[in-house]
Amino acid sequence: MSEEAGVAALTIEDSQSSMGSKADPEAKKAAKAAEKAAKEAAKAERAAQRGVKAAIMTQPDPEDPLKDRYGDSPRVQSREQSGRVWTQVEALSKELSEQTVLVRARIHNTRGKGKSAFLVLRQRTATVQAILFADDVTVSKGMVKYATQISKESIVDVEGIVKVPENPIEGCSQKDVELKVTGIRAVSRAAVLPFELVDAARSEEEVKAAAERGEILATVGQDLRLDNRFLDLRTPANQAIFKVQSAVCQIFKNTLLAEGFQEIHTPKLIAGASEGGAAVFRLDYMGTPACLAQSPQLYKQMAICADFDRVFEVGPVFRAENSYTHRHLCEFMGLDLEMAIHEHYFEVLDVIEKLFGAIFDGLATTYAKELAVIAQQYPFEVPTFKPLRLTFPEGIALLQQGGYPDVDPMGDLNTELERALGRIVKEKYGTDFFVLHRYPSAVRPFYTMPCVDDPAYSNSYDVFIRGEEIISGAQRIHEADFLTQRATECGIPLDTIQSYIDSFKFGAPPHGGAGVGLERVVMLYCGLNNIRKTSMFPRDPKRLTP
């Protein structure tokens, strides 16, 4: 044996013996360090192996005979159109029993154990159960493992056979069917969620019932929801809320088009405050002071002066009100209408009542399914529609008789008084919808026409649902001199509205109109407690993102 080989062959004990007792502490220390290093290396190797295994599960095991049935899809980059047909989750029914379908949906929930996995697939408001059982014929163990490791909210393509279960699937909207999975591919994987969609979709009643049983269920606060609104909007209730909002818009348009109205689009950058007052967002417009329009009011009237006769607009409205309440926003969608009248502002009220009759009826029938989805998380009763008109003094009298003797007969109604009047009207007249008209002139905009019999009151009106105002409108002043007088009395600089006043100098039809807050209509119809629930990306005094 060579000298080098002999040295290499020495054990720790040999070394210790040859070096003597003086080297023992150093040798022991070195041995411990080597042992520790070996353990750390083994730990790192195990971690690396875990990483490799996790990475492998984005694609099938190469040795799996069923490897062509699962694995992440290639990035969708418009390579080709394959001719494949995707079935909507809401369309899955008993009529498709034993048929093979392809579904693209999100992973709502996953439960896996051994050779089986149960997935809940969600597509907007519809959910269906998907099942995998490893039999090595249509589903392998690797396929089950792959499916259970796909994160919640990931988008997947699932191929499967429609089956009719022995018992209804109570946790899903498609209760009468389930999918027996034959293939699954992740299209887009979701990162770690800031909150669980299941928690965000819980009703208060569910949380309270659990608390009574001694269980604590997680909930998601408003700020966290709004900070991650793009995620919050995925809940079934939110999906349904914005379908209802879209429906209100469409019914508004279709009803008015049928009544001879024409849609218009007006500027949102204006030189002066469209409603008067200081609640405007001011800005510099190429060196000229300007602001964002509080409403399309002035331009709607100009359109009437231009012989458009009947017009409506759906567009954003801006209010710089520092009101952090349940029903105020700094930006919302306005549904505005304006029309020429022949004799009386009741002609406008006739159209408004017809419009809301169509909205109430359309939502209760065509969108009954969406209303039911909303009610699962936010229980409510569909409001009652019976047209009712009360004068402002009659409303004041009802409040005084109903326990509010100190209400100001010439002042505007605050939120508490509006709600109280709504309760009284519901009890006495059996309706959630009513019109209050002939408001005091002092609480209406400068362009509102005073009553002919008493100028202290005006030809104006508000419309209420569930005791909260959703519409403010009036007959407008259509004479330039009278309009100038009223603007001066209200302290509005004439130079900022001169073009508006000028539009009435060349013959203007008597006219009136109204403005409707879209978000507020949906909030009140659905009995929701906060307008932020009906604004897709709400803007209030404390929120400018996302």
249 and 129 in a common domain: no
**Are residues 253 and 167 part of one domain?**
no
528 and 390 together in one domain:
yes
Nearest-angstrom CA–CA distance, 375 and 255:
27
d(CA 278, CA 280): 6
To the nearest 10 degrees (0 to 180), the angle between helices 368-377 and 346-366 is 80
Which helix (DSSP H) or strand (DSSP E) does residue 129 occupy?
Answer: strand 126-133
Q: Are strands 389-391 and 433-437 parallel, antiparallel or unpaired?
A: parallel
Contact call for residues 444 and 489 (beta carbons, < 8 A): no
CATH code of 249's domain: 3.30.930.10
Q: In this structure, what token pair is assigned to residue 449?
A: 């026409």
Q: Distance between CA 533 and CA 523 in Å, rounded?
A: 7
Locate tokens 């409001």: which residue? 383
**Structural domain span for residue 115:** 67-73+84-188
Judgement on whether residues 211 and 266 belong to the same structural domain of the protein: no
Residues 290 and 364 reside in one and the same domain: yes
CATH value at residue 90: 2.40.50.140
Distance CA 540, CA 473 (A): 24
Same domain, 251 and 346: yes
Residue among 60, 228, 235 nearest 149 (CA): 60
Q: Are 220 and 199 in contact (CB under 8 A)?
A: yes
Q: CA-based Rg of the chain, rounded to a whole angstrom? A: 34
The letter for the amino acid at 103 is V
Per the domain annotation, does 220 fall within a domain? yes
Distance CA 313, CA 248 (A): 14
Q: What total of structural domains would you count in the chain?
A: 3
Q: What does each of the 546 residues of the chain score in pLDDT, given as a tens digit?
A: 444 444 344 333 333 444 444 446 676 676 677 677 766 766 665 555 444 444 548 899 899 999 999 999 999 999 999 999 999 999 999 999 999 999 999 999 999 988 999 999 999 999 999 999 999 899 999 999 999 999 999 999 999 999 999 999 998 999 999 999 999 999 999 999 999 999 999 999 999 999 999 999 999 999 999 999 999 999 999 999 999 999 999 999 999 999 999 999 999 998 865 555 558 899 999 999 999 999 998 899 999 999 999 999 999 999 998 888 998 999 999 999 999 999 999 999 999 999 999 999 999 999 999 999 999 999 999 999 999 999 999 999 999 999 999 999 999 999 999 999 999 999 999 999 999 999 999 999 899 999 999 999 999 999 999 999 999 999 999 999 999 999 998 888 998 888 889 989 999 999 999 999 999 999 999 999 999 999 999 999 999 999
Q: Which residues are catalytic?
A: 319, 321, 327-328, 469, 472, 520
**Contact indicator for 357, 385 with CB cutoff of 8 Å:** yes
Distance set, CA 503 to CA 477, 479, 516 (Å): 12, 10, 24
